Chain A
Amino acid sequence: MDLGALFGSFDNFLSYTAGGLVFGAIYALIALGYTMVYGVLQLINFAHSEVFMYGTFAVAWTFIFFHGTGDATWSLGKAIPILLVALVVAMLMSAAVALLLERVAYRRLIRNNSPKLIALISAIGASFALAEAMGLRDRFAAWFGLDDDLADYVSPDKARDVYSNPVTIQPHELFTIGGYGVTDVDLVVLGAALLMMLALDQFVRRTRLGRGIRATAQDPESAALMGVNSGRVVQITFLIGGLMAGAAATLYMMKIGSTRQNAGFILGVKAFTAAVMGGIGNLRGALVGGLVLGVMENWGSAVFGQEWKDVVAFVLLVLILLVRPSGILGEALGKARA
């Protein structure tokens, strides 16, 4: 244990914190998907991690489509036009996967009022199926005889291997806080995540659709009696979760630059943890939970070594839940007041 690494100097402390916040923002965006669906359906959408993973591939594909496969290093400014397109493509891709998931894995179960456990198992199955399908994308292309034409996209024989965006986005240091050079990429990741959160929060609090979502979350039967189309609300919930996951995928690819068919798994577990930590079903809780988890991981790494970071983060989760069983903010989606 090396407390000096973290607390030895204020600069170090700030650096570890800042690095954690950037990753925490990505956790938070993914956590929104878990929290929204849980808020409305009291269902853990286990396959949400794959919704995110499909988004990361969409980002890489967009870059390959516009730029080709030649390795290049660009500044953020140069990459912004393609990044914006990639953001739209990734959000659409993730939203499409989320809606497909709702249609195939959940709709009948929800309609038949089946136990939540059944839906959870269905979600786990869908998660595996989606991840493995991405790992077999070359075979799907081969069925249509397209594996040669699409070789850059499906990477024949290596579909399970790591898959990178050919364009590396080189961050530029804007200013330093303590010893940590804050880069344009970090700022965009944090800023974009906060902006998306704010927009979503306002959407749920102020719009008619948002009111429908909250009403369904509070009491589905009464909401239905008041004329809320609950089936539609569920779809919109999945759609929003998918859109946010697509945005998270774009920010993730900006920062990390490579993905693989099982990349969603670990991030999904972390994001779900963030959602629970903040108070599952609570949008603002997802943000708080994501940031706290990101920062805690980095602090844990600093003091105990990187291999201990998950131990630290999850012990913290247990402690928080012991004291506040409903999470840090603990307020359900349905109870959020306009």
Chain B
Amino acid sequence: MIRSSRARRAAITLAATALVLSACGSDGDDKSNDAAGGDGGGASELCGKNLAFLGALTGDAGALGQNMVGGIELALKEYNADNADCKINLKTFDSQGNPDKAPALATQIVNDDTIFGLIGPGFSGESLATGKTFFEKGLPSISPSATNVTITQQGWTTWHRVIGNDNAQGQADAAYLTGEVGAKKVFVVDDGQDYSKGLADTVKEALGDALVADDQISVGDTNMSAIVQAVKASGADAFFYGGYYTEAGLLAKQLRQGGFKGTFMSGDGSEDPNFVKVAGTQAAEGAVLSAPAGPPPADFGASGLYATQAYDAANIFLAAVQDGASSAQEINEFIGSYSNDGVSGPIAFDENGDIKESKIYAYFVKDGKLDVENPQAIS
């Protein structure tokens, strides 16, 4: 999902870039392993080197980045326990999800010789802002969470993602509304931002004749009474919103209070417990929020949205190390031909770096809270 660079209106205290686990690879190990390169574990030149994470660790979306780092650290812990002679460590770079801050960090990452792969960037905006840098330096990257459709259309052959893009989500959402819900007239609204409009446009296109009308709000709008009136006048039996949880919550609240009885649906930008807080439990009840990410398996050792995707992304790099890949190009080739089942689902990439098979899930607000444990697969 894209986080817009919300107007950061004043100088904020400097968020210290957290440098976690800056590894000092032992020279001895490297020498003894120099001649390696075959299959089997622990023999790569990459031993003792680092993966990098670029994404929001603080700021409005900091929690999502923390989830991702949790997944990556779990993968590294498991790997390092089995490969004590070839440890891989993580360096994190906190962009706060801000496309303006990410490029400087991207430069740091590509100039750091100890980094052989990137997990991230977290959001679409920063991905678009940094993709060229990574591509030109040939650093392979796998994003756990950036879903904007256009990223993989830039020709950046080192860029991959282990999550379905907004096209996949929009089509699944439209199919869910017309199929499972049985909606005949869907009213679609977005907030005009890249992510929101992209998702809403896909939904509109996939709805076809079932689209009864559409409208656009602005981020920060609180008075939705005109939309409520338009929805009621259109006779819509379902409502789709492309955008984030604050406006989604206000729309749900005011629509219900205005007497709208149909299905309220939104995408992953709204899939947040705050949606229920803003809408109020009564208005949020029954809302459907889709996301291209499922819940983790029961015994998974990390938690939160995108933790499984980050875990899978890290494991792809680690598999490349074990396979004996020693250069960026070899890693990139390895990723391109990778095909395996991750905890988030089957993983294989098409020629653009998009995941071949993506699952979209519908989450429901039930009994006054967002039920994150029992989503329904809708694609």
Contacts and interface: CB of A to CB of B under 8 A. Distances in A.
Interface of A: 5, 12, 15-16, 19-20, 22-23, 71-73, 128-129, 131-132, 136, 139, 157-158, 160-162, 164, 166, 168, 170-171, 179-181, 183, 256-258, 260, 262-263, 265-267, 294, 297-298, 301-302, 305-307, 309-310
Contact of A310 (B9, B218, B253, B277): B218
Interface string B313-331: 0000000000000000000
A5 B227 CA distance: 11
B221 interface: yes
B9 A262 contact: yes
Interface residues of B, number: 49
Given A23-B223, A71-B276, A305-B216, A128 B229 contact: no
Interface stretch (B153-161, B278-286, B301-309): B278-286
Contact of A258 (B6, B13, B60, B277): B277
Contact of A266 (B220, B257, B280): B220
Contacts of B223: 19, 23, 294, 297-298
A171 B257 contact: yes
B250 interface: yes
Nearest to B259: A181
Nearest to A301: B226
Interface string B1-39: 000001101101100000000000000000000000000
Contact of A306 (B60, B221, B281): B221
A71 B229 contact: no
Given A71-B276, A170-B280, 18 more contacts: A19-B229, A71-B368, A73-B280, A132-B9, A132-B10, A161-B274, A162-B274, A162-B278, A164-B278, A168-B283, A170-B257, A258-B278, A260-B246, A262-B9, A262-B220, A297-B223, A306-B226, A307-B218
Contacts, number: 124
14 contacts: A5-B233, A16-B226, A19-B225, A19-B229, A136-B13, A157-B63, A158-B60, A158-B63, A160-B60, A168-B279, A257-B253, A258-B277, A302-B230, A306-B217
B278 A257 contact: yes
A168 B282 contact: yes
Contacts of A263: 222
Contacts of B283: 168
Contact of A309 (B9, B189, B226, B249): B226
A209 to B, nearest CB: 34
B192 interface: yes
B245 interface: yes
- Give the residue among B227, B229, B232 with the most A Cβ atoms within 10 A: B229
A23 B218 contact: no
A71 B192 CA distance: 30
Contact of B215 (A132, A164, A166, A306): A306
B342 interface: no
A248 to B, nearest CB: 13
Contacts of A183: 257
Given A71-B368, A157-B63, A183-B257, A128 B278 contact: no
Interface in B260-274: 274
A307 B192 contact: yes
Most chain A beta carbons < 10 A, residue from B10, B225, B368: B225
B215 A168 contact: no
Contacts of A294: 223
B235 interface: no
A12 B277 contact: no
B336 interface: no
A77 to B, nearest CB: 16
Contacts of A22: 225
B280 A162 contact: no
A96 B83 CA distance: 62
B229 A16 contact: yes
Given A16-B229, A262-B7, A306-B226, A71 B259 contact: no
A302 B226 contact: yes
Given A132-B9, A171-B257, A164 B277 contact: yes
A168 B228 CA distance: 18
A147 to B, nearest CB: 15
Contacts of A302: 226, 229-230
B62 interface: yes
Nearest to B369: A71
Contact of A73 (B10, B233, B282): B282
Nearest to A266: B220
B219 to A, nearest CB: 10
Nearest to A20: B225
Contacts of A136: 12-13
A93 B232 CA distance: 39
A128 B10 contact: yes
Contacts of B63: 157-158
A209 B285 CA distance: 51
Contacts of B279: 168
